[in-house]
Amino acid sequence: MRTLIILAVSLFILTNCNDVTGSEEIKTPSEMILGKWKVSEATIDGSVYPVTNPGFGQIEVTFTENDVEYIYPGVDDSGMPTASTDTLIANWQLENESTLIHITHPINNVTLFEWEVVNLGVGLLKTSFISQSPLDQQSTSTYILTYQLIE
């Protein structure tokens, strides 16, 4: 009888447990980055900025297999965001063992942006880049943008 119970429990476990190793496909970083992303958090030189519209709340990035569409806020002469947006369509690829997003012009292959990948997970992308300071046009600032996958 004891052997029969052990056999029944073993059979139940074998037939009702999911195959953990084969149930989920492991994605590469290049596959994880595909989709439409929207900024959820913005930091400039260590200070957190509100994700508002107009402003950081307008930023969306869509990665397809080879192309990227980058929608970003327009700015007025003083550097303040406006309600309008600008759109850039370019090529992209991950470099340096998936730690750098390299965005290039689709015609002449000139580098437009290089974003360091700080974190890439399921539904999360965090990038860092250096660009012109929003407060002083003569200096640079470090931007850290966190994106959530929306599509």
**Structure tokens of 145?**
């943008």
Per residue, the 3-state secondary structure of 41-100, as one string, reads EEEECCEEECCCCCCHHHCEEEECCCEEEEEEEEECCCCCEEEEEEEEEEEEEEECCCCE
Instruction: Provide the pLDDT confidence category of residue 21 given band limits of 50, 70 and 90.
Output: low
Provide the CATH number for the domain formed by 28-149 in this structure.
2.40.128.280
pLDDT for residue 6 is more than 50: no
Residues linked to residue 77 through DSSP beta bridges, in sequence order: none
Chain-centre distance of CA 119, in angstroms?
8
Among 151, 148, 143, 147, residue whose Cα is nearest residue 49: 143
pLDDT in tens, 97-141: 889 999 999 899 999 999 999 999 999 999 999 987 767 778 899
pLDDT for residue 15 is more than 70: no
pLDDT in tens, 34-59: 999 999 999 999 999 999 888 999 99
Q: Do 91 and 102 meet the contact criterion of CB atoms below 8 Å apart?
A: no
CA 98 to CA 124: how far, in whole Å? 15
Q: With a threshold of 0.95, does the pTM exceed it? A: no
**Domain residue spans of the chain:** 28-149
3-state secondary structure at position 14: helix
